[in-house]
Structure 1
Amino acid sequence: MRTLCASTLIGEFFVIGFAGLVAMKTDGLSMAVVWTVCGIAMVLSVLLCGMITRPGGVQLGWALQIGLIASGFVVPMMFILGVVFAGLWWASVHFGRKVDEAKAMWAARQAEGASAGPDAA
């Protein structure tokens, strides 16, 4: 799960940065506000890569997805990109857990075969 989720989060890192560049051109928003918000979101996306398997990591990832979708109120294209990344996030978590379960089953079978000894074949 960690690899799939981290890949999604790194992609979001770049999308958030590019959205910040677009948001700078929006009237009524100062550059400081844009880059403070984008900077916090970018740092969060990188930090989540390391803590995705810890308690609350997936939930923080969902919070980031909601923030991405909500950023569409500033940069309308982010509504679409936010939904796309939320779908990728769901797929990363869902299929990542399935991969982890399959790896655990494979490791258990390998350990079972190794404990039986070489004559068990």
Structure 2
Amino acid sequence: MLSPEQIKLFLEKLVDLPKTAVLLGASTGLRVGEILGLKWEDVDFETLELRVTRDVVKQRIERCKTEASRKPVPIGAEVAEILFAWRSRCAYNQPADWVFASPAKKGNSRTGRARSTGCI
């Protein structure tokens, strides 16, 4: 496990999409699959919460299996600001778009596979 200082040094080396994803994981404890499964409609900037409803497992998008994993996840105001800034800069910022969509895949999820969503 990384110390807060190590996380800070690591984040200083990253930009935009990877920085936002790493910060989100480090600050919430979400698994990579849960981060990749986020859409903008899952981010509540007013209540500072994420609704984790899907997970990416072995390149497939799945619904979270347990009720505990579907509970809202609190995010700090600073993390919310960074997410909000990312949303304003990224090309795919509509409610149904993936938070970490790839321009190479045009933010699309036609086959229901993580690779097709263009996530990170």
TM superposition score normalised by structure 2: 0.31
Using CA pairs under 8 Å that are at least 6 residues apart, name the structure with larger relative contact order, 1 or 2. Answer: 1
Q: Which has the higher strand share?
A: 2
Q: Which has the larger radius of gyration?
A: 1
Q: TM-score, normalised by structure 1?
A: 0.31
The structure whose residues are more often helix, as a share, is: 1
